[in-house]
Amino acid sequence: MTKLKQTNYFYSVLLLSTILVILTVISCNSETTVNTTNDNNEIYPQIPDFSLTLIDGTNITKSDLTKQQTPYFFHFFSSSCPTCKSELMELENAYDSKKYSVTVIAVNINPMVSNDHLKTFKKNLELTYNIAEFNSDLMTQLNITERSTKIAVDTSGNIIYRDSFGRGNYTQWIELFEKLDTSNS
């Protein structure tokens, strides 16, 4: 590689890194909320078909969860976002796989983060629920535009809860898990 190409490559990487940092700051300071119902009090539509790869290499699809009649909760996060990290730890405290039949999946939204980094992140936070690798298709289909977006889906595949950055807490998630668990009965 010539010196000029190396310099151009360096500046391209620097520019991309700067853009990612700016997006992280903007996203971590955003406070938008999406209601779970429309004006007629109807729930969101069905979640689209999806296939996620978990950090252990397992694939999970909408079909898998529908066949199991399992409600699920997604938390779209970035490991570099302090608010996301705090929410994931609070979610861990609320989540008890023995008490609730809800499948919790934290979904990485940063395509630059490696699987090994996600494994270390999960271990360091002592998370017991699954973490999925970046999936641009699902993010596009669900219009995920910021970190810390949370989505809950009932056993029929209906999105019954959607919230975003800095919203939701231990008490709300317990209530949501109980509601999802009841919908499973």
Per-residue pLDDT reduced to its tens digit, 50-60 = 999 999 999 99
Residue 56 makes CB contacts below 8 A (sequence gap 6+) with 130
Is the CB of residue 60 less than 8 Å from the CB of residue 105? yes
Per-residue pLDDT reduced to its tens digit, 139-181 = 888 888 777 889 999 888 889 888 876 666 788 888 888 888 7
Q: What pTM was computed for the model?
A: 0.73
Is the CB of residue 168 less than 8 Å from the CB of residue 74? no
Spans of all domains in the chain = 31-183
The Cα–Cα gap between 150 and 142 comes to 11
62-73: average pLDDT = 87
- Residue 37 clears pLDDT 70, i.e. is over it: no
CA 85 to each of CA 43, 68, 75, 147: distance values in angstroms, whole numbers, following the listed order: 29, 29, 11, 11
- 31-183 classified as CATH 1.10.10.10: no
